[in-house]
Every structure is written in C-alpha cells, then in structure tokens.
Amino acid sequence: MSWRNRSGHGSKAGAPTTFVDRVRADGVVVRLESRFHRKHQGPVAGSTWWAPRARGWWIAVLFAIGSALFAVGSVPGYGSAVGARWDTVTFFVGSLFFTSASFLSYREAVDADPQAHRRFFVYQPGRIDWWATAVQLAGTLYFNVSTGVAMADNLSAETAHQHLWRPDAIGSVCFLVASFLTWYEVCHGWAAWRPRSWSWWITLTNLVGSISFGISAVAGYIDPITGQVHDVSRANTQTFIGAVCFLVGAVLLLPERTKEPAEQVTAPGD
C-alpha cells in the first residue's frame, strides 16, 4: 500500500503522513508505520547478521563499508601512511558505497508502493520516505563529485572551491535534510522518546552524523582566492565523528530488519 493516509488517520493536519491507523475485525486499531512498512516488505529472509538475499541486509552492509572508509580516510595517521593520493581514493570509494546503499534505500521506498515499483525512478512528493531517500541519494552523488575531484592533482583555488568544496557542502546539506525527514518519520513529529525502537536509535545516530558532516563542510571551506582550507583539523575530526555515527546506524539496520516486527505499535481505538 501507499502511505498517503488513505484511511483518514495519521499525523496532524497538514503534516507529512508517517503512519496509518487501521481497524481490525475485532475492533482493535493497529498502527502501521511508514518505515515499518517499507523495511518489512515480504517475509524476513536470512538471519540478522547474514542475509545476502535480502535488500535490507545489503543496504546495511554497503552503508557500513562506506562509513568505515570515510572514518579511516579522516584519520591523519592513515593519510600520512598511504599518502594524499590513496587517502582521497579511500574517500571516493567510500562515497560509491554510500551511493549504492542510498539507491537501494530509494528503491526500497519506491517499492513500498505497489503502483510504482515497476518504474525505475518515480516522483512521489506526498511521501516523506520518498523525499528522505531521494534527497539522501542526491547527497551521495554530490559526494561522488567532490571526492572524485579531490583525486586530481594541482587543482586551482577556484576549481577546488567550485568542484570540491561546494559539492561537499551541498551533499552535507542533503544528508542533513534527509536525516531530519527520517527522524520526523520515526518520531511522528520533531521529538519523541522511543529508546526501545531500533529505528529511533538508527535515525538519531544518523542525525548526529549528518550534523557532524555539516560542521566538517563548514570547517573545510576552501578559499577561492588562496585555496586555503579554513580548518583542516576540525574538518577531519567532524568527518570521523560523522562516519562513526553512520557506521553505528548501519550496523543497527541489521537487527531492525529482523526484530522490529515485535515492536509494532498498536494504537487504542477512538
């Protein structure tokens, strides 16, 4: 089903729909959450930690690898050991893993609507999960550009500013927007306390990671005249923190995929 609030229940009027309340034959009102719906399409395949036939498993693994590469690449000792060239290659490869995982997440959201799953790309502006995954995918593409340009030698100050820092900054903004949207989706608003939910912890760690990436982008500002980076040390530190947060969130996707059904919310009747 599509999460367009067809049953007439959901979030506050005018706000994005994040759940639908349905009345069972016995009169109990069961709340179907949008994230739960797209994360549990069909029966659970494989175990928590090994399920190569499950798309959700690949999303977690690809995000984890990409995050690990970003974390390693931001460690000063690693750059000194392998050299600047291989350090930038590490970031670029990590960005490719991010893009692969983000595309699968986008398709996961699209396929949650049976009317759209046969199309490659779709436009579903009424769905918060479509916006979250589409914006995140766009952000990873900007990271592909910035990390790819970083591998080039002897960049001019203007080129570094336009094609290295600017895509990185835009990608960081996209990640931040996507994280806020998924946070809203899970919390059914801007704030909630749900420590027993894997989804809540995943979106919280990803939100913190996106904030860190945003700070890194600000600290990594490249002057278009001199080519000087504003604060290299802080940029690396915040990238490391953000990457670790994304790594934690990616690992938590694995138990969410197999254990979240027991936490499905049942709402009281009207």
Distance CA 147, CA 156 (A): 16
What is d(CA 137, CA 163) in angstroms, rounded to the nearest whole number? 18
> Considering its fold, how many domains does the chain have in total?
1
How does residue 91 score in pLDDT terms, banded at 50, 70 and 90? very high
Give domain status of residue 270, yes or no: no
- Tell me, what's the pLDDT at 11? 47
SS (H, E, C) 50-87: CCCCCHHHHHHHHHHHHHHHHHHHCCHHHHHHHCHHHH
pLDDT in tens, 3-22: 333 343 444 555 677 777 66
Residue 24 has φ and ψ, to the nearest 5°, of -80, 170
Q: What pLDDT does residue 7 have? A: 40
In a domain, 36, yes or no: no
* 3-class secondary structure, 134: helix
Residue 42, domain member (yes or no): no
Distance CA 10, CA 18 (A): 7
In a domain, 5, yes or no: no
Domain that holds residue 151: 55-263
What pTM did the predictor assign?
0.87
Q: Which of 257, 243, 267, 252 is nearest to 95 (CA)?
A: 243
